[in-house]
Structure 1
Amino acid sequence: MVRSGLLGILALACLQGAAHGQMHGQHASEAACEEPMLRCATKATPAFGHDGTLWLVWMAGGQVSVANSHDAGHTFSAPVQVTARGLNLDWGPDARPKIVVDRQGGIALAFATFRDEAFNGQVLYTRSADGGKSFAELRPITANNESQRFEALALDQDGTVFAAWLDKRNRVPAKQAGQKYDGAGLFFASSRDGGATYAEARLAHDNTCECCRLGLAFAAAGRPVVIFRNIFEGGVRDHAVMTFTDVSTPGEIHRVSNDDWQINACPHHGPSLTVAPNGTYHVAWYTNGKARKGLFYAHSRDEGRTFSAPMAVGRPDRNPARPFVLAGAAETVMVWKEFDGEKTTVQMMISRDDGATWSPPKTISSTTDTSDHPLLVSNGRQSYLSWMTKADGYRLMPIEDQP
């Protein structure tokens, strides 16, 4: 990974600023904010518990913290620090702490740190068994000492926590054998005890792009699905989907779209995946390939074996970026960011026919300062936009209430 390239992408995307009031959504940040409080957060990730409680995990001041809200994000509980000291947290554009909450109120967390200046990472995990009052000691998700980054967590119906991440361990034997090694490996592990311990890490697919977020969901009980940027023949970094036979058995990979993005670098711009209750895969991604450029959406009705023709998303003259898609029983929602030279907006489209057609894009939020990626989260009845901005703090906005 080239440091100057990564920093350039960071600067252009304006991804590292976000803040929040002192545990309240209407307050903004101060100019210099190095505390672990939510108002200083650069990345914040939401999850709803089974009882409707909103949980939020964030990174700020080199630490990871968690709080909850019983009033849809208007106020939050006092934060609980997951980390006992400041860490060199992975600050890349596609990095953020991950959280899942099971039916018993157990909370599983995972996040990555940098081990060195060469961006070699380590994925750490922890669990709370007392409703977020305290968290267990941090542990590495694998004993391997090579780089792991871009972890993703998903919760199965039976409470199994499934984790996937990008892992560089296979570069060592390749180098020893005098062979070229491109990218990283897609590794995975599952936890049968709510994220307290994980099975031994296993390889799902090798030679993936090494620096883009993963999309992770379940196609059915016991069947995880991962979308990732793969390295295809000729150094083409297009997206692929893998559906597992079960939590221990990877499946075949299928190409989402032939964008022909041939690049020997790190896009730092990963895809989004959601699986509708009827089994339809909805995916959104960014590409700068020869065949197409910009944001695109497609769906699959045969478990990822084939996908619909890519549909362009957003205005090309406003640098559309960071798509996120979420499917519910009645509708599928997609959001993304655009920048018009003065302000950043979150755009939204809704499909009520399983991705066949979409409503016209409309602006649902905006900021003139820096911001995190827009996320979508659901409590099973209502979908929300979750967005952290420096100027206005944390926002949780019900989708159908948008003007």
Structure 2
Amino acid sequence: MRKAVVGLILVAFLGPAAWADWSGLAGDQLVSYFPGPSDFLSTSNRIVAGPNGLLYAVWAQGRSLVPYELYFGKSTDNGRTWSSSTADQRISASDGESVFNPLDRGVGLALTGQGHICVVWAESLTNVGNEIMFIKSTDGGDTWINTGADFPLSDPGGLRPSLPKIAADNNNNLHVVWQQSNGSNAEIHYGFSSDDGDTWTSQTADRIISFPDGNAAQQAEIAIDNSDNVYVVWMERNETDTNTVHFGKKLAGETQFSSETADFPITLPHAGSTWEPSIAVAPDGSMHVVWEARNNAKGAMYYSRSTDGGTTWSGLDAEQNVDYDAYDDSSSTDAAIVATSQGHLAVSYTNWRPDLSGARTRVSLSTDGGNTWSGNVAAELIDHFEGGDTRPAYGAHICVSTGDTLHVIWHEDCMDLGGSSGYYEIMYSRGDVLGVAPPSPGTISGVVHETDNTTPIADVLVETYDVFNTLMASDTTDAGGTYQVTLDPGTYREHFVKEGYDAVDLSGIVVASDSITIVSVTMSPLSGCVYIPGDINSNGFANGIDVTYGVAFLKGGTPPPDTCFDCPSLGQDLMAAGDVNGSCGFNGIDITFFVAYLKQLQPALLFCPSCPPATRGD
């Protein structure tokens, strides 16, 4: 593919140095619907950030004799208002069955690069037992697929699967982990979907990724880096009757997790209990894990990191606290960690201190890769403190949006709002970047031309991605070839695509507040043969139907539509879409390779290097 000719005006953006001011300090902000006196319990809350100020939240809500169901809320203005604060939106099937483990972080939430919202949880199926359920929304949460009836992704009949977590990679593949009993102890299970959650590998067979050594493995969390490497952490009981956090990884293109063949603890053993590890991957690929450890009934937040792909971990050398430990009888729980685009770290957690007489929501932050933490010096409160012990807050969960704005939700006792004591609503607080108001947005603008650098190209789709490869904005060029997108300050990548032209990618585009960054490119007519590897029947997708088509052709049937007649380096015609093993020929060996790929025994479909597809976009 030809390189783009690009013009750039780059304006440096320097981040502020102070820590965050929090909107929740000024007063309570409800995410869940509270019409008046209530005895409903909202809990197990999760939050994720999308592009352009979009935030999505899910939680479980129910009460005594009323099944817990899943509810959803979204904000389109960076958390300032929430759709769910004025009306309930239930998204799980109202089938009389309760969301399982609603009080124990029993919900998983992820957002794909396509903007699809994906939710997993455990729920009973009549006469079957618990299964891991899946629903998704492809329109920003307005409607939900599978909300009318349960859609299990786990193999039916498993023993008490629960506490699932979900993550999406850069190719929009979905990965889910959960704990499930094998009859004596729990192990960590894994499921994978390559078709937006329509089918799952885990629906037909169990896949255990924790080493089955007879020790209980529980409370898994999952994260994926920019290279699509998958990382999982969980709590495990050891032979010495101590607890440690364990780690497993699956490299991109591979099928096996490192943890399937041996235990890999990343922390020193704790004599007391270890709970709820949380993992984040920074832009530089470093991994950061926090968890709760209890000794003598006191909980504290601990931290471990790896800067070499998980080979070594700081938590094996010494214990490191991230929370404020000035009071012998204070206690912390509910840790969750995120990494910002600058590599800074933020941990939300619940802390009880005798001087504040109640459980409150707090954060601890690090600007040096986890070497030091603000929470070691002072406990930063981010919620509105009413005083006394009448409004305890629990279950904090944190996410970060473009521009490194932090967002935290938790569930808080609603008695002072007119509800019954012991019943909770979902609250929210926003940390405007490091102590200042949110920065003013900037603009990327430019013109797309033919290779003569004069003739404009209309109807070019311009997609803008952040450093996490999340789609943040898009625009289509007009008759003059111009486009424009407005974004928070940060570093972005743009992808230019139009049928009949080689795609163009450009990274390292810096957007500053109140500034315009000019990005103009030229696009070349398609070079090479136009096809998609594996799309033998030329319908735009590569799947099992293409295998059937290819077998029929090899037995004398209709030739594939995408046949390349002009690969000069080959000097012959090539059924290019069928050459999935990259041998520059099409025969039965390609069919065998294709079937292996569909069974996840091959990491990718290949192509003839002498006749690459013009639609690859690289």
Which category describes the TM-score, using the shorter chain as reference length? 0.7 to 0.9
* DSSP 3-state at the match of 1:272: strand
Native 8 Å contact 1:364 1:402 kept in 2: no
Residue aligning to 1:204: 209
Which whole-Å deviations, capped at 9, do the CAs of 1:120-152 have from their partners, x for residues lacking one?
A: 742111122333222222211112312211101
Aligned partner of 1:47: which letter? V
Native 8 Å contact 1:80 1:133 kept in 2: no
Tell whether 2:291 aligns with 1:285: yes
Structure 2: distance between partners of 1:65 and 1:191: 24
Q: 1:156 aligns with which of 169, 183, 193?
A: 169
Native 8 Å contact 1:215 1:273 kept in 2: yes
Native 8 Å contact 1:212 1:268 kept in 2: no
User: Relative to 1, partners in 2 of residues 1:100 and 1:80: Cα closer, same or farther, differing over 3 Å?
Assistant: same
Native 8 Å contact 2:219 2:277 kept in 1: yes
Residue aligning to 1:396: 429
User: Relative to 1, partners in 2 of residues 1:361 and 1:191: Cα closer, same or farther, differing over 3 Å?
Assistant: farther
Residue aligning to 1:352: 367
Query: TM-score if structure 2 supplies the norm length?
Result: 0.53
Instruction: Give the number of aligned pairs.
Output: 359
User: Relative to 1, partners in 2 of residues 1:270 and 1:207: Cα closer, same or farther, differing over 3 Å?
Assistant: farther
Give, in angstroms, the shift of residue 30 of structure 1. Answer: 4.9
Query: TM-score if structure 1 supplies the norm length?
Result: 0.79
Tell whether 2:116 aligns with 1:106: yes
Residue aligning to 2:223: 217
Aligned partner of 2:365: which letter? I
User: Relative to 1, partners in 2 of residues 1:378 and 1:261: Cα closer, same or farther, differing over 3 Å?
Assistant: same
Tell whether 2:113 aligns with 1:81: no
Aligned partner of 1:54: which letter? L
Structure 2: distance between partners of 1:121 and 1:401: 43
Aligned partner of 1:328: which letter? T
Give, in angstroms, the shift of residue 332 of structure 1. Answer: 0.9
Give, in angstroms, the shift of residue 354 of structure 1. Answer: 0.9
Tell whether 2:307 aligns with 1:307: no
Structure 1: distance between partners of 2:306 and 2:258: 16
Residue aligning to 1:326: 338
Native 8 Å contact 2:268 2:319 kept in 1: no
Which whole-Å deviations, capped at 9, do the CAs of 1:205-239 have from their partners, x for residues lacking one?
A: 23586584322111442311011012322343211
Residue aligning to 2:44: 43
Q: 1:385 aligns with which of 399, 408, 427?
A: 408
In the TM superposition, 1:340-379 aligns within 5 A as 340-341=353-354, 342-359=357-374, 360-366=377-383, 367=385, 368=389, 369-379=391-401
User: Relative to 1, partners in 2 of residues 1:389 and 1:261: Cα closer, same or farther, differing over 3 Å?
Assistant: same
Native 8 Å contact 1:236 1:260 kept in 2: yes
User: Relative to 1, partners in 2 of residues 1:285 and 1:388: Cα closer, same or farther, differing over 3 Å?
Assistant: same
Which one has the largest radius of gyration?
2
Aligned partner of 2:397: which letter? L
Aligned partner of 1:363: which letter? E
* DSSP 3-state at the match of 1:188: strand
Q: 1:145 aligns with which of 147, 157, 167?
A: 157
Native 8 Å contact 2:303 2:319 kept in 1: yes
User: Relative to 1, partners in 2 of residues 1:164 and 1:155: Cα closer, same or farther, differing over 3 Å?
Assistant: same
Unpaired segments of 5 or more residues in structure 2? Answer: 1-28, 63-67, 418-425, 437-618
* DSSP 3-state at the match of 2:303: strand
Structure 1: distance between partners of 2:136 and 2:207: 21
Aligned partner of 2:163: which letter? F
CA RMSD of aligned residues (A): 3.1
Structure 2: distance between partners of 1:357 and 1:299: 12
* DSSP 3-state at the match of 2:305: strand
Native 8 Å contact 2:266 2:313 kept in 1: yes
Give, in angstroms, the shift of residue 320 of structure 1. Answer: 1.6
Native 8 Å contact 1:72 1:396 kept in 2: no
Give, in angstroms, the shift of residue 26 of structure 1. Answer: 9.8
Structure 1: distance between partners of 2:304 and 2:274: 20
Unpaired segments of 5 or more residues in structure 1? Answer: 1-22, 35-39, 172-180
Which whole-Å deviations, capped at 9, do the CAs of 1:240-278 have from their partners, x for residues lacking one?
A: 11111246321144211122437xxxx583111111111
Structure 2: distance between partners of 1:380 and 1:399: 11
Residue aligning to 1:52: 53
* DSSP 3-state at the match of 2:382: strand
Which whole-Å deviations, capped at 9, do the CAs of 1:186-208 have from their partners, x for residues lacking one?
A: 11111112223222341112358
